[in-house]
Amino acid sequence: MRITVKQQVLLAPATILFLLILLLGFMQYTYWDLSSKRQEAKAIGTTFIAVAEADMAARRLHVLLRTMQHTGMAAPEEMALVADLYERMLTSVARVKPFGPLKESGHISHLLTLAENLNPADSPEIEKTAESFALFRTELSTLSNITQIYRNQLRMSQDQDINQLVERTATVSMFVLVLAILLGLLISIYFSRRILNRVQMLSHNAVRIADGKLELPPAPDHIRDELDTLAVSINRMTKRLITVVGTEKLLEGAEEERRRIAMDLHDQSLSDLSSILRGLQNLPENVNDQETQEKTRKLEEDLERAISNLRDIMNNLHPQTLDILGLGAAIETHLEHHCDSDDLPEYNLYIDPEVDNLGLDRLKQLALYRIAIEAIQNVIKHAAASRYEVNLEIRENTLVLSVEDNGKGIPAENRGADGRGLNNIRERSRAISAEVNWKPSRFSSGTRFELVLNCETLSLTETA
């Protein structure tokens, strides 16, 4: 089961919150039970008062009706009082609430029937009136006794329930709070230690990589959260860094071997050829044999051409101008010696003076020089351009090398295929942590090659 770091952090407070919600639900249920008993106690009180009021109204109504029946006369005021007392009696009976034993018994419906039978408008006989009032008051008395008994029982039960409620609520609340705190602590300690240990391991691996100890850190078998994703990313980053460093070491070794070969050619082959040339040039000029003089002159020309070609090979293997004058001067010298011709495209060169102050090491200068020469040769060989620009400048803490032409551009069918030259450019750029891309030129047609090297990263690398 995959649990993210955010979920692991929130799990402890979420558990505590869940237990507290359960506690609130329990307390709400308990309060609802107590509230229902309070409602029943209120209904008992209302019934008790309604029964008393109905009994008082029935007694007065009975006395008044007996008086009127004996005298045979009734004043309008007395008739109005009789109607009012009867209405009060019916209202009181209607206020009787069903509770406890009264909910399923027929006492209330029977009481309502008896009250309706006492209607003065029916002019009942004296004996029937007395009998009806006796039955009505007997029913009221029975209902009053039931109400009083149940009221006393409920009062005692309510006091016990309140005590039990307080005790149970306090016990359950204490238990839930202690459980919530313990679970929250255990969960938080478990996940915090787990996350902290993994973060420390990731930090340790990152520090080792930053210190140059390129040992492949372990990667988890399964991705469970963001930290596992980060561990996999660090593992993949280290693999790529090892590849880049290996490529850099390979290029550095290759450049060192090229420099050694160039020095050997200079110290041995070129020296021998120069000595032979001087020997030919010091031959006696008074040789009468015309054929011998012609052959000697031809050998001198061939030897001078071989020496020139050898110097070009030595310069290609390891340009001495780069070591002596720097990157900008080396690129300028190459353009002047190899690209300044009427049958080649016209070029414009700009070198930022601040480039020489960057303190680039020999490997980065060589890589930038090789990339620049390869990009220039691509323009001359493949672009069919009449003009191109070479710029080496610093923009916002980045070193930018660009070669831009007005040629035919890169055909769409060839954009996905890298030749050896483009592949060399990418490999050399990757070895010095630079980014390269090809995009449309600012001219009406053509291609712009651009290399970007972060100067801040370069400074940090040099310091390390």
Q: Which residues contact 206 (CB under 8 A, 6 or more apart)?
A: 234
285: number of Cβ within 10 Å: 8
Q: What is the dihedral of CA 255, 258, 262, 264, to 10 degrees?
A: 120
Q: Do 408 and 384 form a contact (C-beta atoms < 8 A)? A: yes
Nearest to 452 by CA among 437, 439, 434, 438: 434
Domain borders along the chain are 5-189, 241-282+294-318, 320-463
Does position 310 have pLDDT exceeding 60, yes or no?
Answer: yes
Residue 55 pLDDT class (50, 70, 90 cuts): confident
As its CATH architecture, domain 5-189 has: Up-down Bundle (1.20)
Determine the pLDDT at residue 393: 93
Q: Tens of pLDDT along 424-448?
A: 888 888 878 899 999 999 888 899 9
Q: Is the pLDDT of residue 460 over 50?
A: no
pLDDT at 72: 66
Residues β-bridged to residue 393: 400
DSSP secondary structure string for all residues of 144-181: HHHHHHHHHHHHHHHHHHHHHHHHHHHHHHHHHHHHHH
Residue 241 contacts residue 208 (beta carbons within 8 Å): no
Which of 44, 53, 72 has the alpha carbon at shortest distance from 115? 53
d(CA 205, CA 201): 6
Q: Is the pLDDT of residue 449 over 80?
A: yes
Q: Is 279 helix (H, G, I), strand (E, B) or coil?
A: helix
Torsion of CA 285, 290, 292, 295, to 10 degrees: 100
The DSSP code sequence of 300-368 is HHHHHHHHHHHHHHHHHHS-HHHHHT-HHHHHHHHHHHHT-STTS-EEEEEE-GGGGGG---HHHHHHH
CATH number of 320-463: 3.30.565.10
How many angstroms separate the CA atoms of 11 and 192, rounded? 11
**138-183 residue pLDDT tens:** 888 888 888 888 777 777 766 666 777 778 888 888 888 899 889 8
Q: Report pLDDT for 389.
A: 95
Distance CA 379, CA 449 (A): 10
What are the counts of helices (DSSP H) followed by strands (DSSP E) for the chain?
A: 12, 5
Mean pLDDT of the chain: 79
Which DSSP letter does residue 218 get? P
**Is residue 413 pLDDT above 60, yes or no?**
no
Supply the pTM of this predicted model: 0.47
Q: What is the pLDDT of residues 209-228, one digit of tens each?
A: 777 777 777 787 778 777 88
The H-assigned helical ranges of 383-454 are 420-431
- Nearest alpha carbon to residue 450 among 383, 398, 384, 386: 398
What are the pLDDT digits (tens) for 366-380?
889 889 999 999 999
Rounded Cα–Cα distance for residues 144 and 44 (Å):
10
Can you give the pLDDT at residue 299?
77
CA distance linking residue 190 with residue 132, whole number of Å: 81
